[in-house]
A = this chain, B = another copy of it.
Amino acid sequence: MAAGYALACQTVVEGDAVVRLPEPQTIERRLVTDKSARAVDLPFAYDPGRDQTVRAFFVTLDAPTLDDATDDLSRLERALAPSGVRELDVPLPLLRELGQRLREAGWRVTALVETDDWRRPDGPPRLIDVLPGDQRQSVWGAAIDIGTTTVSAYLVNLVTGRAVDGAAEYNGQIARGEDVISRILYAGKNGGLGELGQLARRTISDVLARLAQRNHVALHQIVKATVTGNSTMIHLFLGLPPASIRLSPYVTVVNNPRPVLASEIGLDIHPLASVDCLPGIASYVGADITAGVLSSSLSEAEGLTLFIDVGTNGEIALSTGDRTVATSSPAGPAFEGAQIRCGMRATDGAIETVVMDDDVRIQVIGGDLPAKGLCGSGLIDAAAQLRIAGLLDASGRLASADEAGGHPLAGRLIEVDGIRALRLTDDVVLTQHDIRELQSAKAAVATGIAALMEGTGVRTEELEEVLLAGSFGTFINPESARVIGLVPPVPVQRIAAAGNAAGEGAKMALLSFRERQVAFELPDRVEYVELSARPGFNEEFVAATAFPELETVS
């Protein structure tokens, strides 16, 4: 109170009040950390002539004469014909300016053309822009990953194939609901759908504007965008009502939307840029998983690979070489620090790693900052370390100070509001209730993994690689994940972070026609397993809330 603020959760509002929310912390720092274990390189040498759908051609047109009074568009087409571009499809706003552009440029222009559409290979190429002189080097694209929490984007040079920069920002929708379910509910309110769409697009535009500015690129030079995200995020981005995603039988309006123009959805890049949303597999196995599977080459993996993207939903895919199966499990927001007493997102002040021996040692995001709370990776570490320390039994029951007896950490076992807890710092505790939340979350993921393994007859010892996707997957301690049973008990060296797999997949699809084709076909190749339709799901889930016996995971 002395510092000028009170805790909202401890305050009763007795009259009109103005509530000010402090600016959210920038999260970009977290994304450029070198902790990313697996930087995904493009698995091909980039050749725009072969791979890229958006091409720039510099052409000199013959000026019209009485003997050659071909119309402006045919004249441009004639000049482009030697490059293999024929019968251009020219959007009306551009056609309206074509004559003036050609004349003002003295008939020497760079034509930006989307030469191929992987869904209508025989269709006419589309003219995106006509620029004066030779501007073949200024062709940019954006790969965008719309996360429920974080929107990240790469700025990619479509001539060289290089992603020159990346940036991220909290999804502006967060204030309208933390998870997809609350967003879907909000979208159902009057004007909610439009508002959420606008918030997502504004966040993207902010991120892209920052990327453009610091790389000296104009926003209208971004002439192609590839977008990934879970099905709800894609729906909100496109202005599609997501209501049916929430309710059984959980269907989307469309899993595989066709590309739209930036101007159709009000995205602040070149108005005639195509904005291409990757396809999803099901309501809760969205385009983010398609992109992740694409960038992990999972569907083409020869060995047995398990891919896990942990967030509010745990999205899981398993490739056996022959088959790829996928499911989604409702982990809830515990991994993102929600519904945890001292939980917080992975930003400055969050405890991200916990080690216990004769005392508790923590690492806080932001280095020397005082610990303000516990984020997902810290939560998993704390539980795993408590298990190893013998202070947490397999059922998830936290020892009391009395029970801990002479244990060096016994003094940290306290009660908070009548609930057992571990004191991590003076300000941050981990309660019994928090551990129960964690158990539910990890049980959901574990049940999903078990269902996929059972359905394909795969045994744990056969798993050759367990990929943990997303920033959460990057920062999680694989050993801790194994100790609490979030991942199967494979040797720890088989567990790897897949990095920003969704973003990488979007980048690949942005750059390569062929990779885009693979993404397009993935939904037909990946078998979706609906957990809630599975008999015995509830029993399996309850059983999976237990922690594994230590001997099985060490």
Contact = CB atoms under 8 A, between A and B. Distances in A.
Given A122-B120, A122-B123, A530-B66, A95 B254 contact: yes
A26 interface: no
B254 A73 contact: yes
- Interface residues of A: mostly helix, strand, loop or mixed? loop
A131 to B, nearest CB: 18
B244 A99 contact: yes
B241 A95 contact: no
A250 B66 CA distance: 7
Interface centre among A66, A241, A257, A283, by most chain B C-beta atoms within 10 angstroms, is A66
Contacts of A256: 71, 73-74
Interface residues of A, number: 53
A309 B87 CA distance: 30
Interface string A71-105: 11111000000000001011010011011100000
Contacts of A149: none
A72 B249 contact: no
A7 interface: no
A253 B98 CA distance: 7
Interface string A233-259: 000001111011000111111111110
A48 interface: no
Contacts of A74: 254-256
A315 to B, nearest CB: 16
Contact of A66 (B87, B89, B122, B532): B532
A533 B244 CA distance: 66
Contacts of A253: 71-73, 95-96, 98-99
7 contacts: A69-B249, A74-B254, A74-B255, A90-B254, A99-B240, A99-B243, A122-B123
Given A96-B238, A99-B244, 7 more contacts: A68-B249, A72-B251, A95-B238, A96-B241, A99-B241, A119-B124, A120-B123
Give the top 9 A-B pairs by smallest Cβ distance, nearest first: A66-B533, A73-B254, A71-B252, A120-B123, A66-B249, A71-B255, A122-B122, A64-B251, A123-B123
